[in-house]
Amino acid sequence: MNKKLLVIINLSLCFFLLACTVKEKPQVEKSNDEPLADFFADNGFGNAVAVVQHPAGVYHKGITYVCYQGPLEDPYVASYNHKTKEWKGPFKAGVSEMGKDPDRKKRIDNHGKPSIIIDDAGYIHIAFGGHGGMRKHGENVLGNHHYGRNSHAVSKKSLDISSWETLDNIPPFGTYNQFIKMDNGDIYLFYRHGAHRSNWVYQKSTDNGRTFEDPVSFLKHKRRTDQSAEDSWYPWITKGNGNELIVAFDYHLCSDGDKTGQSLGHIAKRYNLYYMVFDTKTGSWQNVKGEPMKVPVTKEEADAKALVTTTPGNWTFQGVVDLDTDGNPHVGVTIGKDVGERRSAPKNMHHFRWDGTEWVQNENAGLPVGGGNIKAGAPNEVSAYLESKNEEGIGEVSRWDSFDAGATFSKANVFLSRKKSTFAISSLIENAHPDARVIVAEKQKGTDYRRMYVLGDSGPLKRIKKEALCLQQNN
């Protein structure tokens, strides 16, 4: 054999044997020594989130976007990337006309909390800042005035929460904004067109929220003839099947005053529970049986066709609704004793379901005192996501499951618990990721500021603590 060739073969063999004997260095995972917080921000303000202003969060293309009421009642938006585990924000997304008057008797109004939606072009929209509008904003032909100005802001760039612009394309008289985007991209904005004595309306946009059609009334306020009060309403609207939207609502008896004519201020007298369906394709409304309803719906029409239950001797608060896989509605609402004062007694969550023939309820289902949202699955499966207090009086946010169509519920998961704290809870995040189901604000005595959490099946989404301390960063 050629001597030169033999040398090359021997060298190659040596390199091969050496490579086989060298152990691969183990991959060391990068560690982050920064302390973590289980809250993502500490600048929530007042009742920073609620079930009625919804959605307060949207999951879209791997990212959860959330909004809440921050300092001076202005709207704030943050986002969480589930792949990189990176938080962005919170960024102030607009300026509310509320929360800026130090001489106002009710210092924090709380009605202008934001709701959020993402249009088909990827732009992020929030509606915020209103509690009926003020007389300086002009005549309100669909109701009365109170405070604030309803506003609509949109991100300046697609899927970018860092910069915003406010659009002048909705009336200033709204409150309790509820956004819904249909499968075809149409956006519906539902709200009360003024203060307590106002119609509930919707506006439709077919151009990604750049313009909206005129308001259309679907629930009517009107003077009662039998006493010094007006009929009013509190609905909660969400997507049903196909082109349909489903509505759970309760009745508000908006009184003038006591028997002597002395004004009592606003008393949150809310009774009964109702359900109806809106076919967005035809523009028609019907009850659970498919019978047509005349809109705007009056108290008489609601009692005759949409009634789920009456609540004699009790007050209701905040109905919510979802459909099971058979298309039957499950409705949740909190119900408590009517104590005849400004603040009602504690309310337990109650569950009702339509079985195809009638509304069914088990009054001893085991749900606690507290409010939240429900999620239906198979016909016999339904869950309630609630803020409440446990047996030891500790504030917690938990999920309660039923596998017998709501006859009984049991606590399945505690997402967060805190001693000496209570929580304000949002509706379920739209199209929620399992790690980000709801947004909650932790209420602590002695301060109007709240720690903000996003909770999922594994508990809170954590963040580097120094990033979550927004108030310290702004001081």
Among residues 54, 111, 196, 433, the one annotated as catalytic is 111
60 is catalytic: no
330 and 353 in contact (C-beta within 8 Å)?
A: yes
65 in active site: no
Q: How many CB atoms lie within 10 A of CB 111?
A: 27
Q: What is the DSSP string of 44-70?
A: EESS---SSSB-SEEEETTEEEEEEE-
C-alpha separations of 16 from 5, 25, 165 in Å? 17, 18, 64
Residue 227 CA from chain centroid, whole number? 35
CB 281 within 8 A of CB 243: yes
- For residues 460 and 414, the answer to whether their CB atoms sit within 8 Å is no
Q: Are strands 410-418 and 422-425 parallel, antiparallel or unpaired?
A: unpaired
CA 204/CA 181 separation, integer angstroms? 10
What is d(CA 308, CA 360) in angstroms, rounded to the nearest whole number?
Answer: 9
Identify the H or E element spanning 337. strand 329-337
Find out whether 345 and 314 touch, Cβ atoms under 8 Å.
no
Instruction: Tell me how crowded residue 313 is: count the other CB atoms within 10 A of its CB.
Output: 8
Catalytic annotation, pick one of 65, 176, 202, 251: 176
DSSP secondary structure letter of residue 272: E
3-state secondary structure of 279: strand
Q: Which residues are catalytic?
A: 111, 176
